[in-house]
Structure 1
Amino acid sequence: MNLQFIKYFVALANTLNFTKASEQVFVVQSTFSAGIKKLEEHFGVKLFERDKRNVQLTPEGELFLPKAMELLKLWNDIEVGFEVKENEPILISFVQNILLDAILESINQYKTAYPFSEVNIVEKKDAELLNLLLNEQLDVLFVDYEIEHENIDFQFITIEKLVFAMNEKHPLSNKKSIPLSILKEEPFIERSFCAMYDELTEKLKEINVKPKKVFTAPNNGTVSTLVASGMGISLMPMPTFKTENVVYLPIEDVPITRDIYLAWNKDLVKRKHNVKNFIEGCVKGL
């Protein structure tokens, strides 16, 4: 029995989608499908009913799922048992202008491989976070800049892009993409803590566009509510959980992006196996 096939099963049971599940465990879909088939052959039962559109657990699959989760937990316990501090939660944080949406995919990659590990999010002022990392009071830190320090390593994680957010009934909502120049004509809802504000301002100057600002709001939730109510359009990073009645469309001509990095203490990662696993889980597949 291959433990990896058990991980495949749990991922597919959670997503009910072969493409998404194979991405979560970092294998191509053909390898993933073959693993599910071998698992079913091993037990002599079908664990999933599937057709071109739907995937569902069979009664046998429903019965096996809690046992599979228990098996993965047992294996995780065995792994962490060989490290003195493995049972301690992983302490993560991110600088204020990084939204959780931007790093959820990276964290989810780790949690798929280690579903029963504990992760604690530390909330501190940006000025304190680097010191916490250097003093080993923080395990990893997500930032939007490269940290140049002899005791810190970092790795590129993802690119965050601004997209248009508009009410689903807006005349442009059926477009595939929208040029930045439409801000000259549309009521604009500004995000007051936009990390890419300077770049956006520069791009607008280049194309001689001054947005017609009608609202300024401090967070994505408030902005999304205003957009959903038809008060105007906005620019924001693509959210993981989309707001009802809002559509999100890419910028057509001048993409506005920033890089997100994961940073960690070089000495700490040598001693804490679970932190090393977290880093490897986040960067795997890049």
Structure 2
Amino acid sequence: MSAPALAVPRSAVAGPRARRRPLAVGAALCLALAGCAAPGVPAGEDPDTLGGRWTELNESLDSARSVAVTARWARPAAVVTLAGSLEADGAYRGTSTGAEGAVEAVHADGVTYLRGEGAGDALDGVDPGRWLALPGPAQDLVSPAELIAQVRAELPDTLAPEDAAVEGREVTVDGERLELFSGVRLDGAGPVDLYLDARGRLARVARSADATADATAAPSSRSGAAPTSNASPDPAGALLPRVESVDFDDWDAVPPVVAPPAADVWDRPGL
């Protein structure tokens, strides 16, 4: 399937439902009355700037246990969704939808299951609507854990001064209130817009309006079932500038992913 790939090492729906303003007010009051530093805010940094939220953001990515992600490309038009565990080889489900069709993937208990159209020869001869079981690790499929690892790798531990000074503003996205930091460069990987929720968790990464048009070009996928591990020769900064948007939802709240019922798995003749 000619769906885009999220380039990750080996290897996206609205943002989380939360408001930020009470936290900002509480942090300001703490600083004014007691001279203390708000949690996750380095001394001397304004919590209303990206620098003041950066520690929270990185710590939330490091501690998360599950997430749902929706990534969208404009050229070619395609959408990849992923949801599941952030543990190594954890269970997850995903879809990849583009001009050639849609492919679903489920990885559970060390087995990867595929079904759908547009996966080239991989699903030739498989009964429609049934899953093809591929025992072993999902070496050619991106997992939520690998995606978050890639995002984490593209977010520097320490922001450049111009990025740290970017001020946030409250916006409404699909009816939800988020905090938007616009035009962040991220050591040359941008410009991107970062949306955070009240707990400092990433809700959306979107390509800024002044990003170049060719940044929307999507790498191809080898398997078509989901993004592949080596679709881009440049793992550094490969994800964030290429997509139109990546939405993050259900942090630590994704229901457990289980294997499809045995009756729905295709019994390949001769195996």
Q: For the pair shown, which has the larger CA radius of gyration, 1 or 2?
A: 1
Task: Flag the structure with more relative contact order, 1 or 2, with Cα contacts below 8 A and sequence separation at least 6.
Answer: 2
Higher helix share: 1
* TM-score, normalisation: structure 1: 0.23
* TM-score, normalisation: structure 2: 0.24
